[in-house]
Amino acid sequence: MIKAIIIEDERPAQETLVSTLSAIADDVEVVARLSSVKESIDYLSQQPEADLIFSDVQLGDGLSFEIFNQVGIRIPVIFITGYDEFMLNAFEYNGIDYLLKPIDKESLHKALTKYRMLEKHFTNQNSITNLLSYLGNHKKKRMLVKKGMENISLRLEDIVLFYTENKIVYVIDRYGKKYLADKNLAELEEELDSTVFFRANRQYIININFVRGFKSYEKVKLMVDLTLPELNHAIIVSQEMAPQFKEWMHNA
C-alpha cells in the first residue's frame, strides 16, 4: 500500500485528486490532506510515515517549495499546478514528476507508474532508501537564468562559469552570453555537480569542460586557462585551494 499525503489549498481540487486516485489505483491510501505551507511544515516536521506526496505548487500562503526548504524530509513528490513556470524548480525538491491542472486519469496514472518503477528499481537493489538518496543527490541538468525581463532555461553543460560582482551573480555560457542568476555562489556550489563545477575562489565557479589547463601564478597560486579567452576573466586559485583544484582536474 502506498501511503500518500496531499498538499492542496483548494477543496474541489483535493476531492478531485482523491477520487481520481481511487479510480485508477487501489493501492494508494491518502493518510493526510494539508492545505497550507504552515500546516504542511507543522505536519511534516513530525516525520510522518508516508511514501509519496502530491503537492500543489502555489498555496494560499506561499509556494510549496518553502515547505521542503524548511522540513528535511526525503519523500518523493509529484508536483501539481496550473502553471508550468515552476517545472525546473520542482525537481530540486525530491520531485519525480510535474502535472498540470486539470489532472486527468492518464497523466496521474503515468506519474504513479513512474513512482512504482523507481521504487521497484531501488528496492531490487536491496534498499528503498537508495531511491530517496537518489532524489536527494540527483543533480539538476538545467537552471533558470534571466536576461532582461526574460527567464531562460540554460543547460548546465553550456555554462562556462558563474561569478559574483557587486553582490550580483552572473552566468556566462559557451557563446559568451551573459545572464543573471538568482542564487549566490554558496547555494550554487551546493547544487552543482562537484565533478563538473569547482569553486575556484570567492568570486568564481568554473566548469571543467571549459578549462584548457592552468599554470603557476605568484609561485604558490594557480591561474586557470579557459577555452574562451575572449571572456577576459582572470581566474586565480589560491594557495589553499590549489591542491583540491589539481585533484579535481586529475579525477576529471
pLDDT(215) > 50: yes
Share of the chain above pLDDT 70, in %: 86
Mean pLDDT (whole number) for 127-140? 52
Closest CA to 200 of 232, 183, 224, 229: 224
Mean pLDDT (whole number) for 114-125? 67
CB count, 10 Å around CB of 230?
Answer: 7
What pLDDT is recorded for position 84? 60
172 vs 229, more confident = 172
pLDDT(133) > 60: no
Closest CA to 176 of 223, 214, 213, 229: 229
pLDDT(1) > 80: yes
What pLDDT is recorded for position 130? 52
What pLDDT is recorded for position 86? 55
* Each residue's pLDDT tens digit, 76-93: 888 888 766 555 555 555
Specify burial of residue 183 (Cβ count, 10 A radius: 0-12, 13-18, 19+). Answer: middle
Cell representation of residue 95: 520531485
Under CATH, what is the fold of the domain 143-251? OB fold (Dihydrolipoamide Acetyltransferase, E2P) (2.40.50)
Domain ranges of the chain: 2-137, 143-251
Mean pLDDT (whole number) for 69-75? 78
Q: How far is CA 31 from its chain centroid?
A: 27
CB count, 10 Å around CB of 148?
Answer: 8
Strand order, beta sheet including 2-7: 28-34, 2-7, 52-56, 77-81, 95-100
Mean pLDDT (whole number) for 162-183? 93
Give 3-state DSSP helix, strand, coil % of the chain, rounded to 5.
35, 35, 35
CATH 3.30.460.80 fits domain 2-137: no
* Each residue's pLDDT tens digit, 13-63: 999 999 999 998 888 899 999 999 999 999 998 888 888 999 998 888 888
Mean pLDDT taken over the chain: 84
What pLDDT is recorded for position 229? 67
Share of the chain above pLDDT 90, in %: 37
Closest CA to 132 of 141, 124, 122: 122
Mean pLDDT (whole number) for 172-183? 92
Strand order, beta sheet including 221-226: 211-217, 221-226, 235-237
Which one-letter amino acid corresponds to residue 55?
S
Q: How far is CA 236 from its chain centroid?
A: 29
Mean pLDDT (whole number) for 178-200? 89
pLDDT(68) > 60: yes
Give the C-alpha separation, 10 to 25, whole Å.
Answer: 22
What pLDDT is recorded for position 25? 87
What pLDDT is recorded for position 125? 46
What pLDDT is recorded for position 222? 94
Give the C-alpha separation, 236 to 60, whole Å.
Answer: 47
Give the C-alpha separation, 140 to 161, whole Å.
Answer: 16
